[in-house]
Structure 1
Amino acid sequence: MKLQIVPPRQGVLWFKQGVRTFLRQPLAFTGLFFMFMAAVSLLSLLPVIGTPLALALLPAATLGLMAATQIAEQGQFPMPQVLIAGFRAGKDRLRSMVVLGVLYAVGFILVMGISATVDGGQFARVYLLGGELSPEVVLQGDFQSAALVAMVLYLPLSLLFWHAPALVHWHGITPMKSLFFSAVACLRNFWAFTVFGLVWMAAFLGVAMSVAILVSLLGSPALINAIMFPAGLALATMFFTSFYFTFRDCFEAPTTTKPEPGA
């Protein structure tokens, strides 16, 4: 395994590749992402253990969507079982994926716990438990500060786990090493990832503004949810689809063994 350094413009290419691959199989990818979100939502409903379980599932689910992207890139149709690809690659990699899930859940809960010291846990309750979110709550200074603290603390956590599931799955790296190499890859390709993030931010804002203008022109505010939900779902799916290309370009493909797509 060798880390590769890419130019800043690669961030734009990752965006384009994610969108293009999604458009090859839009129904398949939207269905997979919806299944992933539904599984996380259902797990979250379980008392006490639901939220930690849902969080622990996220690294494996992200890997599943990356494996689906690899399959689509090869001109094949990604089937639903690809979502559990991270749990079907042998005992060692299964164990590593479980460890990654536990570490992610602990890290995320720790981030929320620190943010709770700012506003008494109001932001954490809204984010993790779906608490009531009103304009009055959002405008509170403590709530905004807690959200900012959570965002700042989540950034290093996301860098650690960006490539980690894929490194475990396709390269057989141990969990701790995968976290280290993931962070190093993101930092060494800082400008490419910065461009990548800015392009996606512009895409989300552009779609939101376009929907708002369209609804305003039609004169029917009730349409905003009907339009925004499918548009947001498609955009979020494209975003996760682009993850595979960031990984593929940051790390040299294994030369000794080449796993089957989704295996």
Structure 2
Amino acid sequence: MKLNIVPARAGFDWARAGVRTFWRQPLALAGLFFMFISLVSVASLIPYVGSVLALVLLPAATLGLMAATREAAQGRFPMPSVLFTAFRAGRPQARAMLLLGAMYATGFLLVLGASALIDGGAFARMYLVGGALTPELLQSAAFQNAMWVAMALYLPFSMMFWHAPALVHWHGITPGKSVFFSFVACKRNFGAFALYVLSWLGLFFAVGVLVMIVTITLGQPGLMNTLMFPTAMLLAAMFFSSMWFTFHDSFVTDDEAPAPAPDDGPAATP
């Protein structure tokens, strides 16, 4: 396994491949995404440890969505069991994935802890246990500063864990090494990832504007709030469907030649 350096335009190809693959199996991939959301949400409801447990399970659940996209890209129908791919590959890999999840939860809590030093924990409590976002809270300078600090710290943190679940599962890398290799891969392909993020932000914005125009044209602006949530969920499912392609193009095995995604479909998968 070795790192593959891709041009910046690959970021747009990743986003496009995710959208196209999603529409190959829209019911399956949308259903798995909602199972993913439900799994994390139910775990977070467990008293005292729910929020931490949801964070621990997040890398494994994300791997499941990547495996589902891999199945769809290869022309197969992803079954619901694919969401639990991380725990179906034997005890050693399951333990490694849980360890990676524990590392993710610890790091994420440290990020929130850093933000709590600024606003006394208001932003961290809002994220972990929820609550009402009052105008006074949103306008608070301390709350805003805590939010920006958390976002700034989360960027390198997310780079560490972006590829880590896939590296642990498909390449047998230890959790500690996987976060290092993931960070290096994201850093070396930063141009592609920047365009990838911008592509998704642009798509979310464009679809949001389209929904607004349609509801205003129909003379029912109040319908926008009703349509926006399911639309955002579908776009989020497409986003998660694109994560497999960011990993597949960033790492290649010694006997594998990297190839860009063709114009009429997503990148070939091993």
Question: How high is the TM-score relative to the length of structure 1?
Answer: 0.94
Distance 2:68 2:116 in 1: 36
Distance 1:15 1:213 in 2: 24
Aligned AA (2:138): V
Aligned AA (2:233): L
Counterpart in the other structure of 1:180: 180
Shift of residue 203 of structure 1?
A: 1.1
Counterpart in the other structure of 1:32: 32
1:161 aligns with 2:161: yes
My pick for the range that moved more, 199-208 or 29-38, is 199-208
Counterpart in the other structure of 2:225: 225
Aligned partner of residue 47 in structure 1, secondary structure: coil
Aligned partner of residue 133 in structure 2, secondary structure: coil
Deviating runs (4+, > 6 A) in structure 1? none
* Mapped contact 1:24–1:72 kept (Cα < 8 A): yes
My pick for the range that moved more, 236-245 or 140-149, is 140-149
Distance 1:152 1:124 in 2: 15
Counterpart in the other structure of 1:136: 136
1:246 aligns with 2:246: yes
Aligned AA (1:207): V
Give the 5 Å matches for 1:185-200: 185-200=185-200
Counterpart in the other structure of 1:122: 122
Distance 2:219 2:133 in 1: 26
Gaps of 5+ in 2: 257-270
Shift of residue 255 of structure 1?
A: 5.1
Percent identity over the alignment? 59
Distance 1:113 1:218 in 2: 47
Aligned partner of residue 252 in structure 2, secondary structure: coil
Partner deviation per Cα, 1:138-184 (whole Å, 9 max, x = no partner): 22221111111110011111000000000000000000111111000
* Mapped contact 1:118–1:145 kept (Cα < 8 A): yes
Aligned AA (1:252): V
1:59 aligns with 2:59: yes
Counterpart in the other structure of 2:71: 71
Partner deviation per Cα, 1:166-215 (whole Å, 9 max, x = no partner): 00000000001111110000001110111111111111122222223333
Shift of residue 221 of structure 1?
A: 4.0
Aligned partner of residue 2 in structure 2, secondary structure: coil
Shift of residue 216 of structure 1?
A: 3.0
Shift of residue 120 of structure 1?
A: 1.5
Distance 2:74 2:122 in 1: 46
Partner deviation per Cα, 1:70-129 (whole Å, 9 max, x = no partner): 100110100111011011111221111010000000111111111111111111122111
| RMSD of equivalent CA atoms | 1.4
Aligned AA (1:22): F
